[in-house]
């Protein structure tokens, strides 16, 4: 089932709603959309869960307004979807830029109604290096990426597809992957990358007490594995699951392990807090 849900006057986002049971709300990576989780949607529905895949504003089938690509606005859009669908006892699953957006959601709206958090190759606690954070990309690298998007977006997507995965993919798969990225608005991609460059959730992790699983590829060239280590240190109720043969697209590099660990976490009663 598909929904087009109004998240603010005149702006609607597209949501895929598949299966029945406990809802799992997936927030996708830049510059993709919820279709990237098609394998997970099937597995969840087969195992008694409800897949909720949001196309963030500016991406996929959602509206593409000029503004509203900061973490705060994106978190409010997720809240609008959850409220409209009257979702309870949800699992939040944030991938790449979806990581800081889901953390911001918990900071703004609290943990009530949320049972667990899954962070996948998260661009958190900060995508870029800061005075108080030495990991991540340099701001100049992000500025160069924005410039490349402006000059030749299709070529940049082709280059991005090649570095996204650690394991070789077919030409057909890479073409499909690129097509998902090119469904995004060019301005949406740029504004979201500016948000990644300028915002962070460094000061928000202490308030997250939910059982949290951190899935991250050891060979990730977009969000280095050091980010996952920092999240694990700073989130008191978290477990880190490394994917040794994976790049940023860990769910396609090691799909069997990813889906097994995902279902293990979703079906578990929780994780043991760190001392």
Reply yes or no on whether 143 is catalytic: no
* Nearest by Cα to 166 from 242, 56, 59, 55: 242
Average pLDDT, the chain: 96
Q: Evaluate whether residue 192 is within a structural domain.
A: yes
How do residues 38-81 score in pLDDT, each as one tens digit? Answer: 999 999 999 999 999 999 999 999 999 999 999 999 999 999 99
CA 92 from chain centre, in angstroms, equals 10
Kindly report the CA angle at 149 between 228 and 142, in degrees rounded to 5? 40
Q: How confident is the model at residue 270 (pLDDT cuts 50, 70, 90)?
A: low
pLDDT of amino acid 272:
54
pLDDT of amino acid 275:
41
Sign of the Cα torsion 114, 103, 18, 261 reads negative
Residue 274 has pLDDT above 80, yes or no: no
Q: How confident is the model at residue 273 (pLDDT cuts 50, 70, 90)?
A: very low
User: Is residue 90 within 8 Å of residue 82, measured between CB atoms?
Assistant: yes
Question: What are φ and ψ of residue 137, in 5° steps?
Answer: -90, 155
Average pLDDT over residues 254-265: 97
- Spatial distance between the Cα atoms of 136 and 140, rounded to a whole number of angstroms: 12
pLDDT of amino acid 269:
76
Collect all residues with Cβ–Cβ distance below 8 Å to 256 and sequence separation of at least 6.
none
Tokens linked to 171: 């030409």
Q: Evaluate whether residue 102 is within a structural domain.
A: yes
pLDDT of amino acid 138:
97
Percent of the chain whose pLDDT exceeds 70: 98
pLDDT of amino acid 160:
92
* Cross-strand pairs, 5: 13
* Nearest by Cα to 138 from 220, 70, 203, 224: 224
Helices 139-151 and 153-164, packing angle to 10 deg: 130
Average pLDDT over residues 268-272: 70
Residue 183 sits in a domain of what CATH number?
3.40.50.1820
Q: Evaluate whether residue 274 is within a structural domain.
A: no
Q: How many residues does the chain have?
A: 275
* Nearest by Cα to 227 from 71, 100, 102: 100
Average pLDDT over residues 100-126: 98
Catalytic pick from 28, 62, 63, 96?
96
Q: How many domains does the chain have?
A: 1
Q: Evaluate whether residue 47 is within a structural domain.
A: yes
Tokens linked to 271: 């994780």
Tokens linked to 64: 């593409």
What does DSSP say about strands 212-217 and 114-120: parallel, antiparallel, or unpaired? parallel
Reply yes or no on whether 63 is catalytic: no
Catalytic pick from 55, 63, 220, 253?
220
Q: Evaluate whether residue 77 is within a structural domain.
A: yes
Tokens linked to 96: 């790449």
pLDDT of amino acid 183:
98
- Spatial distance between the Cα atoms of 52 and 25, rounded to a whole number of angstroms: 5
Q: Evaluate whether residue 238 is within a structural domain.
A: yes
Reply yes or no on whether 187 is catalytic: no
- Spatial distance between the Cα atoms of 169 and 163, rounded to a whole number of angstroms: 11
Q: Evaluate whether residue 272 is within a structural domain.
A: no
* Cross-strand pairs, 222: none
How do residues 188-239 score in pLDDT, each as one tens digit? Answer: 999 999 999 999 999 999 999 999 999 999 999 999 999 999 999 999 999 9
Q: Evaluate whether residue 99 is within a structural domain.
A: yes
* Host domain of residue 84: 2-267
Catalytic pick from 14, 28, 191, 248?
248
Q: Cα–Cα distances in Å, from 172 out to 30, 34, 169, 178, 250?
A: 20, 19, 8, 10, 18
pLDDT of amino acid 122:
98
**DSSP secondary structure code for residue 198 in this structure:** H
């Amino acid at each position: 089932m598909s929904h087009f849900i109004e998240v603010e006057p005149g702006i609607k986002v597209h949501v895929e709603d598949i299966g029945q049971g406990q809802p799992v709300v997936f927030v996708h990576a830049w510059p993709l959309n919820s279709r990237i989780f098609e394998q997970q949607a099937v597995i969840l529905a087969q195992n008694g869960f409800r897949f909720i895949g949001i196309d963030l504003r500016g991406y996929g089938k959602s509206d593409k307004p000029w503004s509203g690509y900061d973490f705060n606005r994106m978190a409010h859009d997720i809240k609008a979807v959850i409220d409209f669908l009257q979702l309870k006892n949800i699992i939040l699953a944030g991938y790449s830029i979806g990581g800081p957006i889901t953390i911001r959601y918990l900071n703004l709206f609290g943990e009530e109604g949320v049972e667990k958090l899954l962070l996948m190759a998260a661009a958190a606690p900060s995508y870029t290096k800061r005075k108080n954070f030495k990991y991540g990309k340099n701001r100049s690298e992000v500025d160069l990426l924005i410039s490349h998007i402006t000059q030749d977006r299709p070529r940049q997507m082709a280059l991005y597809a090649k570095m996204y995965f650690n394991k070789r993919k077919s030409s057909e798969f890479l073409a499909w992957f690129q097509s998902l990225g090119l469904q995004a608005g060019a301005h949406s991609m740029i504004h979201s990358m500016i948000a990644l460059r300028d915002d962070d959730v460094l000061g928000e992790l202490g308030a997250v007490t939910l059982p949290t699983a951190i899935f991250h590829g050891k060979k990730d060239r977009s969000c280095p594995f050091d980010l996952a280590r920092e999240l694990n240190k700073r989130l008191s109720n978290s477990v880190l699951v490394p994917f040794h043969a994976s790049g940023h697209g860990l769910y396609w590099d090691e799909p069997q392990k990813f889906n097994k660990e995902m279902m293990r976490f979703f079906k578990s009663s929780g994780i043991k807090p760190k001392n």
